[in-house]
Amino acid sequence: MQSNRSDLLFDDAGQLVLADSVYLAGQLGLACGGEALLDTAVRDLGFVRLRPLRGALLVILAPPTVSHLAAFAAFYHIAAFAPGRVVLACLAADRSASRYELFPTPREALKRVEIILAENGRSLSMPGEQVHYRTVKRRQTSVMGRLVSFRRRDGIALRFDDRDFSIRIRRPLAAISAEDAWMAEELANWEGGRKRSLLPPLASGAFPRGLNPVGGRAHIVDTSNTQATGYWFRHWAPINSYHFGGTGRRLRDMPSSLMRDNAIEDYWSTVQGGVPAYHLIRLTQRGASYAYARLLLPFASNGTEVDNLLVLINERDLTAELPKA
């Protein structure tokens, strides 16, 4: 587990979301903030929270409400990082003292969670025909208006408010479109820079080709900040129709918009997972329309903790590849 990263939070659809109370408050439309908001997400919405401890990992869930998809995703993530001891915190429904249990291995903790889910009529096994979507209605606010987000059966993520709309889908890296062939070449360069299971550093031998072949269609994002809103652009792609970013600017300094919210989620998820991500995105905001393919490539100076992202962007027509909402 990356020790210098913030807590991880898995929602009721099994998606990794930001465990940042300010960002999460805007997404869920809840009036509370700080620990109270994260506590509400776990107790009332069935989220699972992971918190790195010294020599252990704290798993926080509420047995009466925990989503089996959240639990499945959390333990899938835990298995990938193979931490030492696991502390399982079960939050009481009546908000009385919570129960803490210590397990020597993730496997033992997993068995306990399976029992908890079974006692509440659920299973940790991944259902073959499970519909992975959720609808979250945010309260009316003077800043963001009414927002709705959900993930459809086909994996399409939709988000819209009173004026703006976005639709995006993550596609397999093996399915990079022929129109984005230059992205596939950069992905191959990234793979060539890896050593065993270690991520390549930004200055690796695979990177000198860097910005040359992409023709100004690449951002370099410094992700060393533990909060995704603090990520900043070391280099802003000059060939880019979105004019609210720029070199040296942090994500939190960009205007509040669907574009920024999507970027915060996707950048942070890639930093935490350390795995490239290929998205197709179409959105309308502030009267302007955008359609683009995007490839996120993570880099790590020490081989494990992502400190830079190479963000490749290809603005093009996606009518044939993105279905209508």
Question: What is the tens place of the pLDDT at every residue in 53-75?
Answer: 877 889 999 988 888 888 888 88
Amino acid, res. 21: S
Percent of the chain with pLDDT over 70: 74
CA-to-CA distance for 92 and 104, rounded, in angstroms?
23
The answer to whether 58 touches 92, Cβ cutoff 8 Å, is no
pLDDT in tens, the chain (325 residues): 343 356 788 887 777 777 776 667 666 666 566 778 888 889 888 899 988 887 788 999 998 888 888 888 888 777 766 667 889 999 887 766 678 898 888 888 888 888 888 887 766 654 433 323 233 333 222 223 344 455 544 555 555 555 677 888 888 898 999 999 999 999 998 999 888 778 999 864 444 444 454 678 899 999 999 888 899 999 888 888 888 888 899 998 988 788 888 898 889 888 988 889 999 998 888 778 899 999 999 999 999 899 999 999 999 999 888 766 5
Element (H, E) at 295: strand 288-299
CA 18, 187, 226: angle at the middle one, nearest 5?
25
- Location of each CATH 3.30.450.20 domain in the chain: 142-315
The per-residue pLDDT for 72 is 83
Q: Which CATH architecture has domain 142-315?
A: 2-Layer Sandwich (3.30)
Retrieve residue 23's tokens.
């960002």
The per-residue pLDDT for 325 is 53
The per-residue pLDDT for 22 is 66
Convert 207-246 to b/e letters by CB count within 10 Å (16 or more is b): beebbeebeebbbbbbbebebbbebbbebbbeebebeebe
CA 76, 65, 29: angle at the middle one, nearest 5?
95
DSSP string, 128-157: TT------EEPPP-TTT-S-EEEE-TTS-E
CA-to-CA distance for 166 and 144, rounded, in angstroms?
14
The per-residue pLDDT for 33 is 62
Retrieve residue 165's tokens.
């709309």
pTM of the model: 0.61
Convert 144-176 to b/e letters by CB count within 10 Å (16 or more is b): beebebebeeeebbbbbbeebbbbbbbeeeeeb
The per-residue pLDDT for 116 is 85
Q: What is the pLDDT of residues 3-50, one digit of tens each?
A: 335 678 888 777 777 777 666 766 666 656 677 888 888 988 889 998
The per-residue pLDDT for 129 is 31
CA-to-CA distance for 142 and 140, rounded, in angstroms?
7
The per-residue pLDDT for 1 is 37
- Number of H helices and E strands in the chain, helices first, is 6, 15
Q: Is the dihedral of CA 265, 268, 271, 309 positive or negative?
A: positive
Ramachandran category for residue 94: left, alpha or beta (phi over 0 → left; psi -120 to 50 → alpha): alpha
Q: Is the dihedral of CA 103, 108, 109, 111 positive or negative?
A: negative
The per-residue pLDDT for 95 is 67
